[in-house]
Amino acid sequence: MDQEVQAERMTREDVEMVGGGRARDERVAIAGKRLHFVGIGGCGMSGLARICKRLGAVCSGSDMNESVVVKGLRGDGILVAPPEVGFMDFLDADSELDKLVISAAIKAEHPEVLAAKAKGIEVVKYAKLLGELMIGRQGVAIAGTHGKSSTTSMLAHVLISAGLDPSFIVGANCEQIGGGSRVGCDVVGKDFLLAEACEFDRSFHQFHPTHGVILNVEADHLDVYKNLDEIVEAFKVFAEQLPGAGGGGSLLINHEMGCRLEIAGGLDCEVQTLGYSSEADWQVRLNKGKVYLDRGGEKVCSWKAALPGMHMAYNAAAAGITANRLGANWEAICEALESFTGLDRRMQVIGEKILGDEDLTDDKRGRKRGGKVVVLDDYGHHPTEVDATLRALRNHYDPKRLICVFQPHQHSRTRFLMEQFATSFGEADIVIVPHIYFVRDSEAERHAVTSADLVDRLRQKGVQAMHLYPFEAIVEQLSLITGDGDLVVTMGAGDVWKVARWYMDT
């Protein structure tokens, strides 16, 4: 094991003493601390800044872009330096800064990091500070390759609806629960702090939750991990952060995963499984739009599915089980899950595009050009997510044609998972692929694979696929080919969402 990874790993003896010898139930003092967040406009960073401010810290930040989030932070009384204002000027004016908080994406050579270190200011990652806030509180960490944002948002909605007043940070916007973060009750025993636990950069090793959920484990972030074995090991380390059953620790884990026993074996916390099999501790079933949750072969509850797809039924079940463990009753849980309206970029309905009167004729292929097209947007960027989402959309909407505009996210992910991607678009009638969204990868990786490579593999699989760029060209193509009864979905973790909105506006 690499020395850096070994240094981050906590042993079983460390779990009850965290934060430099601090007992697990001793909260980290944050009131009065001066914190500056680099990249404060991100979902997680903005949420953490808001929570820290509500807990008494003096917070400020910087971001490369002006955005709705940045404007909202300023409205909440958090100073955010405009992009044109140098951070060094800020440091000169604020020499009393206690911590510089950075996300995992900020490099060690970043100018703001270098300036802070030169002044002797402590630099901490987002995950470490969030993990410290879990100490002395009932932290709930939702981990997994897929479904973290949806499950955390559902759990937050259920607890709010049940009157349990949680604090949370979600990596996406959910208007129904007030956005991407919230500060709720902080009274001991009622101080629930919900957060996504991301495996990228092994960030979730910095968390100190009481309750954990592992939704699934698959190969991803292979720019960080050598192989699936390393990923499984990382999830095992995450699970080992949970306190023993005597300390209230619990883990809910996917029953069907081949690595389940490897991760959960030897844990001292209470472990329960969730899956589709009757052998799971909790079995989830979906039938004609209704979700059923069984325990030991007997039905515990059922609810009308708020979002389509078996994967969303599974996420909802995980949220419901966790909410019940935290004190919500099943009646309140079912009502809340039925009323959940979703979050941004998760099978989000953008609208119905009404085709103009001038198109109310048959085209050369005999397809009526009038009517309407349903337009959605989704964050899916992993082959499993693509496949599950397209299947859910096909089953739920039953469109005449399912047209997917997929923007690959990261060249390394596209290269490592090329064959999986090539088989994940079976439900799509047409796939349009723009350039790969470039983030974190090296220039060498950037030249190792292209969108054209993915299109070639899709066409070899019999999928009608094309590579188009820029986004304006994709919108033009959609305007030419779409007809009544079609469904268009934009997918990817980059900025492909723009295509859906621009198409709606044409």
Which residues are part of a known binding site for ATP?
144-150
Pairing of strands 179-182, 167-174: antiparallel
What are the CA-CA distances from residue 319 to residues 284, 410, 432, 451 (Å)?
12, 30, 34, 36
Pairing of strands 58-62, 79-81: parallel
Binding residues: 144-150
Pairing of strands 22-23, 192-197: unpaired
Pairing of strands 211-214, 138-143: parallel
What is the C-alpha separation between 145 and 382, in angstroms, rounded? 9
β-partners of residue 142 are: 196, 213
β-partners of residue 283 are: 275, 294
Give DSSP secondary structure letters for 305-351.
-SS-SHHHHHHHHHHHHHHHHTT--HHHHHHHHHH----TTSSEEEE
Q: Which residues of 409-421 are buried (b: 16+ CB within 10 A; e: fewer)?
A: bbbbbbbbbbeeb
SS3 251: strand
How would you write 54-107 as a 3-class SS string?
HCCCEEEEECCCCCHHHHHHHHCCCEEECCCCCHHHHHHHCCCCCEEEECCCCC
